[in-house]
Amino acid sequence: MLSQDSLRSYEARCTQESPPACRRYCPFDLDGRSLMRLVAQGDIAAARTLLLRHLPLPHLLSQICDHPCEEACLRRDYGGSLAIRDMARFCLAYPVPEKRTLPLPPKRHAMAILGSGLTALTAAWDLAGKNYPVTLFAEGNVDDLLKSHPLWQSQDVRDALAKDLAKLLQKQIEVRPLAAKPDLAELSSAFDAILIDAYALGDRLTLPGASDIDQETLLWHDSICVAGWLSTSPTGHSYLLPSQAASQGRIAAQSMERLAQGLSLTAERKKDQAPLHTDPGKVALAARIEPSAATYSLEEAQAEAKRCLDCQCLRCVRACSYLQQYQGYPRLYARQIHNNATIVKGLHQANALINGCTLCGQCAELCPEHFSMADLCLAAREDMVAAKRMPARAHEFALEDMQNACENAVFLPDQDVSKPSWVFFPGCQLAAERPSQVLELYDILRTQLNGGPLPGVALAITCCGMPAHWAGQKALFSKHMERLRAHLEELGRPKLMTACASCLAAFTEALPDYPLCSVWEVLDTLDISALQSSAKARSDLPKTFSLHDPCTASHNPAWQKAVRSLIQKTGASFCEPEHSGTTTSCCGYGGLVACAQPDTADGLARQRIAELTEPALASCIICRDRFARLGKACWHILDLLLPKEGMSGECLGSGLSEHRTRRAKLRREVLARMGKEEGYPEEGIALAISPELLDDLERRHILRNDLTEAVAFAEAHQTYFLNSENGHRLGSFRPRNVTFWVEYSLDEHGFVLHAAWCHRMIVPGSGGRPANEVIDEQQALQKDAANVGGAQ
Amino acid sequence: MTMAPNYAPDEGSWLCAHCKEPLQQLKVPVFYLGSAFDVLLPRCPKCGMTFVPKSLAEGKMLEVETLLEDK
């Protein structure tokens, strides 16, 4: 199970919740992005509340701040940074009713602030705002504060300061005259914490320089903080940087609170958060809007606010419709997946999230921090399987298909070479969909390789076990792989070449020390002149293809290179889609999503199809069939190398039921080459099913064989219902964890299927067994479970 | 009088082909993942053969199955 530590490490990798650049560079943590969003929406009152929550001396700072936020704004290179300071000034001047705030309970710790510079006033603002009794030791009276600083010379600035001071003086604050030589010992005994404004008191006290003080706390000694030094330019010129001076006031105020309360000065103070990764992408230029008067009009402010790029990371989310489906981003998903494993009672609501990931790894490639939803979801699936919490519905059907491929497995040694150098592993999906091309390719490989230095090509047709790996069935996957390893060792450990990227990925995962490559790499080194230039001569092929890399080959540059080289050799031309190579997108089959969540899988396929501007060309048969099924013309690379009459990119795949028939047929053909004969399975009853109905039923995991079995059972045992209105019969059969229902009729040619459905729930009196028998069995099981539960 | 949910055939007039009896809405316990519920379904009053309508299998039944699987 995902530990708290690894959860945090996952969360830290996703920066979507990190502050945007403007907020990160603001010493007062003001989120310019939210400010702009609120102004653009016309909610100026909320924008103002946001400003007042973050800015000390808001009127003054909105006049004099040197706005480091604007320096950091990503709009800077696209028409100029957002006018965040001008926007703050607009919001503060905009006539909205002042919100009444509830007074905070008075604090008892007495705070002394020596000086009246910007640092001192900021600290006073923050402390008085929290209702600490603050004593401000200043030169002259309050009115003199307005005149005592060189920055306060302009009338606008003086007016702004006057507004802030008026507000400040409503709080628990007392202004006392500053002594010529303040007695720090005496002050220390009278106050819980003291701040000395270095700018204002530098000539009265011997104070440490900025470099002598820890800038994180600004503590000088005991309970005395010093802050407010002038900044120095590279040429040695001293100047007051308002953002820095005010920021030091805020830091000092926080330290004074901690000093007064006897808390740690450093604990939980530094925010260790990675910066928000923002890729502005293609941004249209839009010039900064300057206010036509002293401040913006509402229209001007809204127009300016709408220039905000609304910085987000979401690189992975934008590319993946699965990540969009749950309206979040990986950081949130990691938390949901963690919670899913730890809840004791209630629904495991993240099961769908966990089983909806294709494990393609595109997110990790697009993410600057390499956050991998694939790693997270696969580990969660393995945990669910181990804890017996994985819903059987999710992957049972795919695992049954794997079982079928294994039952039809066949290993053909090279007929001429006793110890083959190679074994060709086409993959169970390609073998089921294109059996004749597979055998043709095998013969080409043998002809070409047997004359060379590495002769002998065996043929292995079976499943690689990837469905078990994707389903989180670790034990099943490793058992299957061990069996395959034993077969390969028996053949003399020949180099394995696969035509399926998933098989190659499965072997790389489970047998990392076994010699592996793709069949495309081998073909690329052979003389295939007979196949070359054939594509150019063909009028049935598109001028240009959009090349789609299978996601399981995204980390296999050799596969990608060989496929491109072979296509070029056939004379066909192709272009690369936006996501290609390492960042290629999944067709929706990966991670068994097409089985667990067909709608999610189709969403992913449609998103990918939208990126493929030309007719597509794939080197994976599953991708090809899925695209073609959704109306996107897609060719397989074998259609260029070994064209078949009538085969085009528009042709639909043969379907899951037909795959099973073809696998059995291919096995018989291969066995015949070995001189072995295998009897044909008994012919089932003839049941006519329209292709559209079968396609719809296969999508719901009901195969032709299930349907014929159900009809045969109902007919053999006369256990069906009869519709007296139209003569339709309705039978049911439960061969495994699913009850299949078939509504059919009988005509002169045989049975005709009208509808079918299935359910997993056990309904006594259906599925072919007597009701009482099922009820007794289920009640006994429940009793046993209750006894086990009680004993525990 | 039972409070169990009641599901009739979606359409048609059905009878048990074996017993030649018209179906009646009768109570039957259904089971899934350690839970049991009483439901009124069309059944043959003689042999007890039970009919699960398509709308039930693909609607409420699927919903409950998924809910129990995620529990």
> For an interface test with B, which of A759, A781, A784 has the most B Cβ atoms less than 10 Å from its Cβ?
A759
Residue contact A778–B29, C-beta within 8 A = yes
Give the pLDDT means over successive 10-residue stretches in chain A (792 positions): 84 92 95 97 95 95 94 95 96 85 88 92 95 90 59 80 90 89 92 92 86 93 92 83 93 96 89 83 92 93 96 94 96 94 87 96 95 95 94 94 93 91 96 94 93 93 96 96 93 95 96 96 86 65 94 97 94 94 96 96 97 97 96 95 86 93 93 83 83 93 94 93 95 95 93 96 93 92 78 55
Cα distances from A599 to residues A31, A630, B60, in angstroms, run: 38, 12, 19
Query: What is chain A's percent helix, strand, coil content, to nearest 5?
Result: 50, 10, 40
Asked if A278 and A20 touch (Cβ cutoff 8 Å), the reply is yes
Structure tokens at A120: 């001192």
Chain A nearest-CA distance from B24, in A, is: 13
Residue contact A741–B54, C-beta within 8 A = yes
DSSP state of A132: -
Q: From chain B, which residues contact A within 8 Å (Cβ)?
A: 12-18, 23, 28-32, 34, 36, 41, 43-44, 48-52, 54, 57-58, 61-62, 64-67, 69-71
Tell me which residue has tokens 């903080």. A225
Structure tokens at A274: 């990675």
Residue contact B17–A722, C-beta within 8 A = yes
- Determine the residue of chain B that is closest to A355 in CA distance: B70
Asked if A320 and A362 touch (Cβ cutoff 8 Å), the reply is yes
Residues in chain B with CB shorter than 8 Å from the CB of A743 are 54
Residues in chain B with CB shorter than 8 Å from the CB of A725 are 12-13
> For an interface test with A, which of B56, B69, B71 has the most A Cβ atoms less than 10 Å from its Cβ?
B69
Chain A nearest-CA distance from B71, in A, is: 5
Cα distances from A202 to residues A117, A191, A198, A298, B34, in angstroms, run: 12, 21, 5, 44, 79
- Determine the residue of chain A that is closest to B64 in CA distance: A761
DSSP state of A360: -
Residue A195 identity: L
Q: CB-based burial of residue A339 (10 Å sphere; 0-12 exposed, 13-18 middle, 19+ buried)?
A: middle
pTM beyond 0.95: the answer is no
For residues A106 and A159, what is the distance between their CA atoms, to the nearest angstrom?
A: 29
Asked if A49 and A100 touch (Cβ cutoff 8 Å), the reply is no
| Structure ipTM | 0.97
DSSP state of A270: S
Residue contact B30–A761, C-beta within 8 A = yes
Structure tokens at A718: 């006369």
Q: Are strands A544-548 and A573-575 parallel, antiparallel or unpaired?
A: parallel
Residues in chain A with CB shorter than 8 Å from the CB of B54 are 741, 743, 755, 757
Question: In this structure, how many other beta carbons lie within 10 angstroms of the beta carbon of residue B1?
Answer: 2
**Positive or negative: CA dihedral A370, A371, A372, A376:** positive
Structure tokens at B64: 């409950």
Residue contact B70–A351, C-beta within 8 A = yes
- Determine the residue of chain B that is closest to A759 in CA distance: B57
For residues A548 and A586, what is the distance between their CA atoms, to the nearest angstrom?
A: 9
Asked if B24 and B42 touch (Cβ cutoff 8 Å), the reply is yes
Q: Nearest to residue A570, comparing CAs of A598, A594, A597, A536? A: A536
Q: CB-based burial of residue A245 (10 Å sphere; 0-12 exposed, 13-18 middle, 19+ buried)?
A: buried
3-state secondary structure of A495: strand
Choose the closest CB to B43 out of A765, A772, A785.
A765
For residues A191 and A313, what is the distance between their CA atoms, to the nearest angstrom?
A: 47
Residues in chain A with CB shorter than 8 Å from the CB of B38 are none
For residues A351 and A367, what is the distance between their CA atoms, to the nearest angstrom?
A: 24
Q: Across the strands, what pairs with A518? A: A498
Chain B nearest-CA distance from A432, in A, is: 30
Asked if A605 and A623 touch (Cβ cutoff 8 Å), the reply is no
Residue contact A764–B43, C-beta within 8 A = no
Helix axes A44-54, A84-93, angle to 10 degrees: 110
- Determine the residue of chain B that is closest to A388 in CA distance: B69
**Positive or negative: CA dihedral A530, A535, A537, A540:** positive
Residues in chain A with CB shorter than 8 Å from the CB of B23 are 721
Asked if A585 and A604 touch (Cβ cutoff 8 Å), the reply is yes
- The tally of CA atoms less than 13 A away on the side-chain side of residue A452 is 15
Cα distances from A435 to residues A205, A508, A638, A662, A688, in angstroms, run: 92, 25, 12, 7, 25
Q: Which residues of A303-318 are buried (b: 16+ CB within 10 A; e: fewer)?
A: ebbebbbebbbbbbbe
Q: Are strands A224-227 and A219-221 parallel, antiparallel or unpaired?
A: antiparallel
Residue contact A778–B50, C-beta within 8 A = no
For residues A33 and A82, what is the distance between their CA atoms, to the nearest angstrom?
A: 10
Q: Across the strands, what pairs with A226? A: A196
Residues in chain A with CB shorter than 8 Å from the CB of B32 are 760-762
Quick one: pLDDT band at residue B30, thresholds 50, 70, 90?
A: very high
Residue contact A349–B70, C-beta within 8 A = yes
Q: What is the pLDDT of residue A314?
A: 94
Q: Across the strands, what pairs with B28? A: B39
Q: Nearest to residue A522, comparing CAs of A640, A422, A420? A: A422
Size (chain A), residues: 792
Residues in chain A with CB shorter than 8 Å from the CB of B13 are 723-725
Asked if A620 and A639 touch (Cβ cutoff 8 Å), the reply is no
Helix (H) or strand (E) holding A458: strand A457-461
Q: What is the pLDDT of residue A96?
A: 80
For residues A686 and A11, what is the distance between their CA atoms, to the nearest angstrom?
A: 57
- Determine the residue of chain B that is closest to A757 in CA distance: B54
3-state secondary structure of A222: coil
Q: Pseudo-torsion of CA A377, A379, A380, A383, nearest 10°?
A: 160
Q: What is the pLDDT of residue A789?
A: 64
DSSP state of A138: E
Choose the closest CB to B18 out of A719, A762, A764.
A719
